[in-house]
Every structure is written in structure tokens, then in C-alpha cells.
Amino acid sequence: MAGFVRLGSAVYQINKIFNESGIFRVGESKHEAKLEARSEGLVTPGQIASSTGIFSYSYAESCRNTWFELARFAKSEFGIKDMTQIRAEHVQTFMQHRAETVSRGTWNKEAAHVGKFGDAVRLYLTGQGIERLVDDYRAALGEIRKDVLQGLPKVEAARGFSDPKAVISALSGPYRLVASVQYEGGARLREAAQIKPEQLRGFSRDPVSGREVGRILLTDTKGGKIREIQVRPGTYREIYSYMEKNGILKVGRSTYRAEVSKAATSAGESARGTHDFRYCYAQERYGECIRSGMVGLVAMQQVSWEMGHERADITMHYLR
């Protein structure tokens, strides 16, 4: 059997997986299910979680909401039509994307929901008599958890620096240049942490504002979607001069995060993470698009594309 390719929308498929997998076990005891799992020799929290189901309506609703978001993301970013074909690399990319807009606690909860989705897919396929290996989503998220959580705030908060220029001014050397690329071009940390000379593409005019900008081609992007960003001419020239002396612009991510945290503190800002530069970019760029005459949805789509996303509504996360 081929799976879900012709069976309807992502939402339809998620509901079908949820309803027909048998993972929803309302009325049964979660405690007894855990005891049974331990009696079968399962020890770690991940092993126990993978062998137990969903036991309450509220948790079922939370899980399905995350599954819907995962399904939409997989379809828009990777063109996946069959939701049983979501792979480990897809859930990693999705949860890296979620790290851009949520707190540490929310990320952990949604990671647990994604793990349950893997369980549900396995149960569903087994019930359909389909023999197919399903990637271990929990193990996949375990590979990125430490790096992702390092840059997340413990609680939800309004994101973006009040004065990003003050934070950047408190940095020096390559850290200041990388921060400028994030703030002026909306680049993710992984995209800005290493830039090679061949990525510098010269000067042009910003089609939105008409001002002169320096162009940088981003190649190490999320989802492998190469795109071009714009920075101020002065920043571009500084990067060019730095490369003439050092070959490439490169910083260690952990060290860079620590430097930005210190710079934020010295500037009187909350040290929530380097992603706040992207928030500042989105908020300022959206305003620039609106002032140029774009209507709200068109402006959101423009900002979304520039930041490496596809859907316009993703921009809303950055405007809160």
C-alpha cells in the first residue's frame, strides 16, 4: 500500500492517524500503562513514552495541535503530501523552526508531542498491515536538543532587543559583524556564523526601499533553501575588509551566544538569545514594507521569504 498520498489534506491525515492508530486511550490508566512498560524491561523515559498512549482529552488536543503544525510545515517546506513519510530530518527542522518563536518549556512540550506522533504513525501503519520503518523522532530531537535549548528563554516573553544597535556596539571583531548580518539581513545564527568570500555578491538597490544594499548569498540554510539577504553598505565593506585579512568570517556558535549575552547585559537588555536580532529585523522590515505601500498580508509574505520561510503567517510570530 502506498500510504496517504491521495487520501486528502494534511489535517484529514492527522485526524485519521490519531483516530485509527489506537494511541488515544481515554478511560485507561496512564499509571498502569507505565507499570506494564517497566515490567517489560523498558527503563528510560523515552522507552516508556514510546510504549504508552495518550490518556486525556486535553493532552490529545495539545498533541494534535502540534501535529497539525508539523504536517503543514512538512508540506510547505518539503512538499510532503503523505504524512506517514515525515522523516527524522523533517522533525528536526520543524523543531528548530519552533525554537524561533517559543520558550524552552514550550519547546520541550512540543518535542514530546512530536514523539507521540511517531508512535501514532507506527501504530497506524501496523494496523493497516503496512511494513515500513518509521524514524525515531525522539532520538532525532535528542540530537539537537542541547544546541537548541541553549538559546531559548525559560518563559515566553516579548522578543527582540529594544535597542539592537546598542547590543551590536558592545560587541567587537567578528562577533559584531555576525550580529550585524543577523540584524540587518534577518539571518539565522547557523547562516551567519560562517560566511565565505564567494558569498559576497556586490551591491544593488533594495526593491522595497530603493536604498543601496550589499548582497550576501546564504548557503548553509535551514531546509537547504539558498537565499540572498541584504545588509547596509558599510557592514558589507567591513565584512569584505575582514575577509581580505582573515579569509572567511567565522565564529563559534557557543562563544558567539555568550558574547551576545554579555553585550546585551551591558546594554541594559534582556539576554534571551541571538535570535532576538531576527525579531528586530522582522519587525523593522515589516514596517518598512508597509511604509512602501504594501498591504499587511503582502508585507508579511515579503518578510517571510526574506527570512527563509514560505508562509506569510509565520511573520506574525515575530511581530508579537
In a domain, 5, yes or no: no
Give DSSP secondary structure letters for 206-255: -TTT--EEEEEEE-S-GGG--EEEEE-HHHHHHHHHHHHHHSSEE--HHH
Q: Which of 150, 177, 207 is the last residue of a domain?
A: 150
* Cα dihedral across residues 217, 79, 61, 63: positive or negative: negative
pLDDT < 70: residue spans in the chain: 1-8, 33, 37, 42-51, 151-158, 223, 320
pLDDT of residue 165: 94
Please give the Cα distance from 241 to 200 (Å, whole number): 12
> 3-class SS at 54?
strand
In a domain, 156, yes or no: no
Same domain? For 215 and 290 the reply is yes
Q: Are 99 and 110 in contact (CB under 8 A)?
A: no
In a domain, 201, yes or no: yes
* 246 Cβ contact list (under 8 Å, min separation 6): 174
pLDDT of residue 142: 92
In a domain, 132, yes or no: yes
Same domain? For 312 and 179 the reply is yes
Same domain? For 121 and 191 the reply is no
Same domain? For 60 and 139 the reply is yes
- Nearest Cα residue to 183 out of 230, 226, 242, 216: 230
Q: Which of 150, 183, 206 is the last residue of a domain?
A: 150
Range of the domain at 277: 164-319
Same domain? For 297 and 194 the reply is yes
In a domain, 4, yes or no: no
For strands 212-218 and 200-205, give the pairing: antiparallel
In a domain, 226, yes or no: yes
Q: Which of 150, 181, 212 is the last residue of a domain?
A: 150
Same domain? For 102 and 210 the reply is no
Structurally, the chain folds into a number of domains equal to 2
Please give the Cα distance from 106 to 218 (Å, whole number): 29
pLDDT of residue 229: 95
The pTM score is: 0.57
Same domain? For 256 and 291 the reply is yes
pLDDT of residue 33: 65
CATH number at residue 302: 1.10.443.10
In a domain, 257, yes or no: yes
Same domain? For 206 and 114 the reply is no
- Nearest Cα residue to 303 out of 87, 290, 40: 290
Same domain? For 301 and 259 the reply is yes
In a domain, 308, yes or no: yes
For strands 249-250 and 212-218, give the pairing: unpaired
pLDDT of residue 152: 67
Same domain? For 128 and 188 the reply is no
Same domain? For 146 and 193 the reply is no
Same domain? For 143 and 170 the reply is no
